[in-house]
Amino acid sequence: MKNWYTIKAQAGATNAEITIHDYIGNWNISASTFLSDLKAVGSSNPGLKNLDVSINSLGGSVIDGVAIYNGLRSFAEKTGATITTNVIGIAASISNLISQAGDKRKMAKNAFGMVHSPLATAQANANGMRDLADLLDKFEGSIIGTYVQRTGKTADEIKALFDAETFMTADEALAQGFIDEITPAVTLTASFSLDNLPEKIVAIFNNTNDKTDKGTKAPESKPVTKPETKPEMKTDPKADAGTTFANSILALSKQYDIEAHAESFMLDLKLTTVDQVEAAMREAVEVRDLCVFAKMPDQVSAFIAERVTLVEARKRLVDIRAEKSDKTHVDNTTPIDAKGKTQENAGGTLSPSKIYEARANFGKATK
């Protein structure tokens, strides 16, 4: 079964390892399951001294993420174990908050952090939307408080970073107080194109291939450089001259009213042209609308993040509804008496008292 985390520790071990490498709360696996597994590790390893948490996640459920942060801190206090968080790819959105749970917070030289205000999708009237906005403000205030405590920044400074939807390199994260240490970068040998990335990020990839953190020369291999051939996305007729790929994605997300999920499309390495992004967004909109019409909007974020097709989304929603129906089905048929006649009051219509009386007497012998 798919899972967005793993927890590994041998019985009696002093070290345990946790990986969080996907959308938090995905596949209907909540923080309660994570915390239950974490508690089990602590119980079976009373001498646990170190808990290493590896993170490569674009985020996920805010509530689950906050619970995991608090659960990790509580675990450290109860067991005395030292928690080390290490961002090895990206810690975006609520996964970045989890990275703050470490007594030691590390990030690979070529990894990234990202923070922004909490997001939500909902189907509600004006009052419901106002209530949701108030709730998001409360979530944001709580999260900002944690960042203030962990980074030493003021609430206004953190809020400014949230509003700007800030991406940080490892060097920037260290300077801003989001991490304590930068770990060696992974030497890159892949031949993928770097033209889709900002120049400062391309420089990071190339620099980390030119040398090791010890200052020794890397093995004889050419650093990853931009190919001479222009990538497909720059010749895409839909992309205006001077428009970056990220800006094209953002513009499309606004056009398709799916801006809350723009980050997911930006970081999907399988999407390399504007046409591919637009096709993915069109299907995502259909999936979103299907979830809303099925009165299951809580599935939207996970479905879009997984690039679930419309056909697959329909199947999953049917399965979810069937499972809920089995658990919550209530017989609302008109009550009848033991002779098979419908119970009615003098006026010929049903009344609550007659309904409950009929259900209480159903199956009993009558005279």
Q: Is 329 noted as a catalytic residue in this protein?
A: no
What whole-number distance in Å separates Cα of residue 216 and Cα of residue 34?
A: 41
Q: 305 is written with which tokens?
A: 């993040």
Q: Would you say 37 and 20 are in contact if contact means Cβ atoms under 8 Å apart?
A: no
Q: Are strands 166-169 and 112-115 parallel, antiparallel or unpaired?
A: antiparallel
Selection from 13, 23, 22, 10 nearest residue 48 by Cα: 13
79 CB-near residues (< 8 Å, 6+ apart): 42, 48
Q: Which of 54, 61, 93, 301 is catalytic?
A: 93
Q: Is 93 noted as a catalytic residue in this protein?
A: yes
What whole-number distance in Å separates Cα of residue 154 and Cα of residue 66?
A: 20
Dihedral angle computed from the Cα positions of residues 164, 165, 169 and 173, in that order, rounded to the nearest 10 degrees: 80
Alpha helices in 115-169 (DSSP H): 126-151, 155-163
Q: What are the E-state strand segments in the chain?
A: 5-8, 15-20, 50-57, 82-92, 104-108, 112-115, 166-169, 181-183
Q: Which of 54, 61, 116, 264 is catalytic?
A: 116
Amino acid (one-letter) located at 119? L
Triad 301, 306, 309: Cα angle to 5°: 100
- Provide, for the chain, the percentages of residues in helix, strand and coil under a 3-state DSSP scheme, each rounded to the nearest 5: 50, 15, 40
349 CB-near residues (< 8 Å, 6+ apart): none
Supply the residues annotated as catalytic. Answer: 93, 116
